[in-house]
Amino acid sequence: MVEKERVCVTGAGGYVASWVVKFLLSQGYMVHGTVRDPSDQKNAHLKKLEKADENLQLFKTDLLDYDGLCAAIAGCSGVFHIACPVFPGKVPNPETQLIEPAVTGTRNVLNACVKAGVKRVVLVSSIAAIMYNPKWPKDKSMDEECWSDQGFCKETENFYSLGKTIAEAEAWEFAKSRGLSVVSVCPSIVIGPMLQSTVNASSLLLLFPLREGLESLENNARAVVDVRDLAEALLLTYKNPEAEGRYICSSYIVRMKVLVDMLKSKFPNFNYPKSITEVNDDVNLSSEKLQKLGWKYRPLEDTLVDSVKSYEEIGILSKDRASV
C-alpha cells in the first residue's frame, strides 16, 4: 500500500490555514499542522474536519521553536507556511510582536524544510509586501515585480508590511542559496466564511459595518479575495510544477460603499453605518499571472452571503438579525 503524501501547514488553526487543511484532507493528504496548543478550544474545529481523525496530526510548536518545527515538518514532501502574527491597530512593540516572528519564523521554517528534504514550500506572503512603493508608476497595475519599499514602511510605521516584505525577501534569498523550491502567494484582504470560532483581523472588514453601529465609514478602495479561493490558489501553486516565483492573489477591487450596499441588499436589518465619507485613494493590482496558471474565483456576492451566514452560525452577530 502506497503511503499518502504528507504535507505540513504552519499555524493550522488560523483563518486561512484552516481552509487549507480542510481542502488538503478532502484531497487525501496526510496533514501535519502546527499550533501553539493542540488542546486549546480555538483549535477544536480542526478535529471536526472530515478525515481529520485518521489524516490530521497536530504538533505543539510556534515559529520561534526550531526543534518543534523540525518535528512537525519531518517526513513531509511539502510545506504551506501560513503562520504569521497579525495585530489590528497600533502595536506596542512591533519589533518583537510582528517583525521578529515573521522574519525569524520564516527562516526557521525554511531551515527545517531543508533538513527534512521538502520538495516544495508555498509561502503565504501578502500584498502588504507589494503595495507600499511610492516609486511605482501610478498608471501601472502593481504586479509581482513590485516590492514594498522597506524604508517607506519604516517611515510610515507600517510594521506589518515591513515584516512581510523582509520575510519574503529573505525567503527568496534563502531559496536561491540553498536550492529550495519556493513559491510565494501574496493575497489581498481575505474575507469569506470562517471555520474557526475566534475572529481574525481581516474579517473585521465586514464585521465592522455589520455590527458596530458606526456613525460613518470611509469609502476606501479595498482589494479582497475569498478565503476559499485563496486556499485553492495555494494548492494550485503547490501541485503545479510550472508554478514559480510570486503570485498576487486578489479577486476584486471594491469600495466600501459597494460592499455595504451589497450586504444591505441581502441582509437589510443590520446596524449599518449612517453615512459614507468619500476619500481619494486607489488600488491597482493584477492577478493575471495566477489566472494564467488556472486560478478562478467565485462571485463577490457569494462570498458576502457565505460570510454573514458563517458569522451567524458561530454567534459573532446578534441572533435577531435578518438573514437570506
- Phi and psi at 92, nearest 5°, equal -60, -45
Residue located via cell numbers 472588514: 205
Q: Which of 164, 176, 309, 319 is catalytic?
A: 164
Catalytic: 257?
Answer: no
b (16+ CB within 10 A) / e for 33-67? bbbeebeeeebebbeebebbeebbebbebbbebbe
Strand ranges (E), 147-258: 182-187, 189-191, 216-218, 221-226, 245-249, 252-255
Q: Rounded CA gap, 78 and 119, in Å?
A: 6
Q: For residue 199, how far is the Cα from the chain centroid?
A: 14
Q: Rounded CA gap, 93 and 273, in Å?
A: 32
Categorise residue 117: left if φ over 0, alpha if ψ from -120 to 50, beta otherwise: left
Determine the 3-state secondary structure of 281 from DSSP: coil
**Cβ atoms of residues 116 and 32 within 8 Å:** no
Per the structure block, which three cell numbers stand in for 115?
Answer: 533538513
Q: Which residues are catalytic?
A: 164
